[in-house]
Amino acid sequence: MKGPPFKFKSSHRDHSNFVNCIRFSPDGSKFISVSSDKKGILFDGKTGEKIGELSSEDGHKGSIYAVSWSPDGKQVITVSADKSAKVWEICDDGSGKLTKTLTSSDSGGVDDMLVSCLWQNDHLVTVSLGGTISIFSASDLDKSALQISGHMKNVTSLSVLKNVPKTILSSSYDGLIVKWIQGIGYSSKLRRKENSQIKCLAAAEEEIITSGFDNKLWRVRFLGDQCGDADSIDVGNQPKDISLALLCPELALVAIDSGVVMLRGTESSVNHQT
C-alpha cells in the first residue's frame, strides 16, 4: 500500500503457507514476516523487496506464530508451535543467523506451544497456548526464565497443605491444579494422570482428594509436581463438598444431595441420609 491516500502497490508470494505476523524494525528500514511454512523473511522497509531470510539450518520445526524486534533493530525473537523461542542476529545482508534457542521446562504438551512474544528493553517475553508467560533476560540468555502462570478457567477450590503451610493448591473445573507459595506466588502446575474435571479439592500431606461433576471421588498421591496413580470410588451422588479429618487424613466426609458419606481410603464406611 502507498499513501495517504492509500493505493495498492504490490504483493509478494514468498511464503507457501499462512503469514501469521509482520513487524517493522524500530527504524522502519526493514520488516519481517513469519509464517506457518516455518520461514521468516526480511524485506526492505521502503521498497518492499525481499532482502533475506532467517537461516533454515537451525530454524523452527513448526509454524512460526510471532516475531518481535530488539530495540536496536539488530536482532529478533520468534516463537513457534515447536514449543521453542529463537533469538536471531540480523546481518547487514538481510539474513538471520541463530543466536540462541530458548525452551521451557514444562511437559512439552500442546499447551506449551508458543503463540506470542515481545522484546521489551532487556526482557524477552513469550506466551504459551496454555497461558504461561515466560520472561527471559536479553543480556543473559542462559539465565532461567521467570514464569508467570495460573488458571484459565474459574477457580473452584483452595487447600493449604498442613505439612507445608506456605504451600497452597488451587483447582479449576477444567481439571488443572496449581501450586502457589506464600510470599512468592506461582510455583508450578501439578500433572495428573487422570485429568478429570474438578469441582471440589482437599489436600493433606502427600495426597489430593478431588471430586468432579460425576459421582466419583478421586484420591491421588503426589510428590513435588508429579502425581501418581489415582483411585476412585462412586459415592452414588454428585459430591458437593469434601472435608478431611485433621488427625486422620485418610478419613473424609463427603457432602451429597441426600446426606453425608464417610470414607476411609476409597471405601465407604457410613452413609448418613438427611
The SS3 call for residue 174 is: coil
Q: Please report the pLDDT score of residue 81 as a whole number.
A: 95
110 three-state secondary structure? helix
Give me the pLDDT at residue 114, please: 96
Which is it for the CA torsion 35, 82, 123, 143, positive or negative? negative
What gap in Å lies between CA 151 and CA 174, rounded to an integer? Answer: 9
Structural domains of the chain, count:
2
**Does any domain span residue 71?**
yes
pLDDT (tens, 9 = 90+) of the chain, 274 residues, equals 566 787 777 788 899 999 999 999 999 999 999 999 999 999 999 999 999 999 998 899 999 999 999 999 999 999 999 999 999 999 988 899 999 999 876 656 888 999 999 999 999 999 999 889 999 999 999 999 988 888 888 898 999 887 777 889 999 988 889 999 998 888 888 878 777 888 899 987 778 889 888 888 888 888 777 788 888 888 888 888 998 887 787 888 888 888 888 888 766 655 655 5
Has residue 2 been placed in a domain?
Answer: no
| In-domain check, residue 247 | yes
195 and 263, same domain (yes or no): yes
Q: Is residue 8 situated within a structural domain?
A: no
Distance CA 104, CA 113 (A): 10
Would residue 126 count as lying in a domain? Answer: yes
Structural domain harbouring 82: 19-148
Instruction: Note whether residue 5 is domain-resident.
Output: no
Q: Which of 148, 172, 203 is the last residue of a domain?
A: 148
CB atoms within 10 A of CB 185: 10
Q: Which residues pair with 158 in a beta bridge?
A: 170
pTM: 0.75
23 and 142 both lie in a single domain: yes
**C-alpha dihedral sign at 213, 221, 201, 157:** negative
Q: Which three cell numbers mark 220?
A: 491421588
Return the bridge partners of 88, or none. Answer: 76, 98
Q: Are residues 221 and 236 in the same domain?
A: yes
